[in-house]
Structure 1
Amino acid sequence: MFKTARSKVQTWITAGGGTIAALFVAGLMGAFGALPAHDPPQLPPDAVIEAGRWRLQPVRAYVGHAGVHGVPLKPGQKALVLEVDMTNRTAQSDKGYFNVFAPDGVILSDPVPMIVLTRDSTMTPELHPGMTERMAYVWPLAGDAAVPASLAFGVTAEIFKPRDNLYGTPGWYNPYRLGTVTLPVADLPAAGQSQSGQSQSGQPESGP
């Protein structure tokens, strides 16, 4: 009889322990789920950023009104431009850089930027391994779109997998927000016009 009672106690402890453990884990998951999500860290604007397959060095940000590295703009448009020195850290030429930067707090005409090699205005070139190139990310904006004096750009990185679970091939996967870099935004007038609305000759620009 004593043995039977002891067995019943052990069974109760085992079942109860499992229930308690389950409740404990569920409580932890609920607690972690209730925690606020951490904002991505602020990245120094003057430091090199290691972002997976790319090494990045932001250079400057500005609003251009015409002739932005040969990128065509529609009448009445302007463009938000981010210039950045980019280095391909992989062993093959690549142009998978479209989602690396995204401006926060600006209404874009198109979230996908046009990207230009600044030295010769080549559109969306492949970047060769180990060669640093200055690239311009160009986002067209409506002419009356408000752009703050400083702007945060989200930086997206990826993770290299020698063998992806889905495809079974090596590559860069799982994009995530690495952080945010904030830069001052200059306003560059159209070619031939100064900030004060005068031509380079010093005479006021004619207009209606």
Structure 2
Amino acid sequence: MFRTARSKVQTWITAGAGTIAALFVAGLMGAFGALPAHTPPLLPLDTATDAGRWRIRPVRAYVSHARTYGVLLKPGQKALVLEADMTNRTARSDKAYFDVFKPDGLALADPMPMIALTRDGTLTPELHPGMTERMAYVWPLAGEAAVPANLSFGVTAEIFKPRDNLYGTPGWFNPYRLGTITLPVADVPAPGTGP
């Protein structure tokens, strides 16, 4: 009987200690969850940055009031344009670059930009491994949309996994916000409308 009572006391103590440890861990996790989110860093403009499968170097941003790199605008529209040098860091030609840049704080009719090579206006080309190309990201905007003099763009990167969890094949996964770039935004009037 003494042994049974002793076993019961040990069981209660063990269960109580486990409960206390679980509550302590849950409290810590809740405390860390309440911490402010980590702010992505401001990325440099003067050097190239590795952003997952792309190496990027933003060059300039401007608002265009006319057709830009073959992207047609509807009457009353203008376009926000971001030009960036991009290098494909992978071993294959690729055009999975649509989500790399996103302007912060602007109401976009379509968050998906039109993208063109600046050298010849080719729309959505595949970029070849190791070749740096200057690309123009073009977002149509309403003519009355206000664009600040300095605009921040979020930069999205991905993580390379030699094997994914579903098929066991290599690829780029888990997009995340790598950081932010901030550029001055020039205003480029349509031809024939300047002073």
Q: Paired residue for 2:61? A: 61
TM-superposed deviation, 1:169: 1.6
Tell me the CA shift for residue 3 of structure 1: 4.8
Judge conservation of contact 1:67–1:191 (CA < 8 Å) in 2.
Answer: no
Paired residue type of 2:17: G
Equivalence for 1:202: none
The answer for the alignment partner of 2:30 in structure 1 is 30
Give the TM-score normalised by structure 2.
Answer: 0.95
Distance 1:177 1:47 in 2: 19
Larger mean Cα displacement after TM superposition, 35-44 or 50-59: 35-44
CA–CA distance in structure 2, aligned partners of residues 143 and 4 of structure 1: 83
The normalised TM-score by structure 1 is 0.89
Question: How far off is 1:4 after superposition?
Answer: 4.9
Distance 1:145 1:73 in 2: 14
Q: Which runs of 4+ in 1 moved over 6 A?
A: none
Which residue identity lines up with residue 92 of structure 1 in the other structure?
A: R
Unpaired runs of 5+ in structure 2? none
CA distance in 2, matches of 1:50, 1:166: 26
SS of equivalent to 1:125: coil
2:175 is aligned to 175
Could you tell me which amino acid in structure 2 is paired with residue 70 of structure 1? G
Give the CA deviation at 1:122.
0.2
Rounded to whole Å, the distance in 2 between the matches of 1:41 and 1:107 is: 23
Say yes or no: does 1:46 pair with 2:46. Answer: yes
Describe the superposition over 1:72-109 as per-residue Cα deviations: whole angstroms up to 9, x where unpaired. Answer: 11111100000000000000000000000000111212
CA distance in 2, matches of 1:167, 1:66: 46
Provide the secondary structure at the position in 2 that maps to 1:43: coil
Partner of 1:152: 152
What percentage of residue pairs aligned between the two structures are identical?
81
1:42-79 Cα shifts (integer Å, max 9, x gaps): 11222311100000000000000113112111111100
* Paired residue secondary structure (1:84): strand
Q: What per-residue deviation string (whole Å, max 9, x for no partner) do you get for residues 99-125 of structure 1?
A: 000001112121100000000000000
- Name the amino acid aligned to 2:162: P
Q: How many residues align?
A: 195
Please tell me whether the aligned partners of residues 78 and 140 of structure 1 are also in contact (alpha carbons under 8 angstroms): yes
* Secondary structure, counterpart of 2:130 in structure 1: coil
Shift of 1:174: 0.6
Q: CA deviation at 1:155?
A: 0.3
- Read off the aligned partner of 1:75 and give its amino acid letter: P
CA RMSD of aligned residues (A): 1.4
Which of the two has higher C-alpha Rg? Answer: 1
1:158 maps to a residue whose letter is E
CA distance in 2, matches of 1:41, 1:149: 21
Deviation string, structure 1 residues 19-40 (Cα, Å, up to 9, x no partner): 1111111111211221121222
Given residue 159 of structure 1, which amino acid in structure 2 is its aligned partner?
I
Contact kept, 8 Å, 1:149 with 1:184, in 2: the verdict is: yes
1:16 corresponds to 2:16: yes
Counterpart in 1 of 2:187?
187
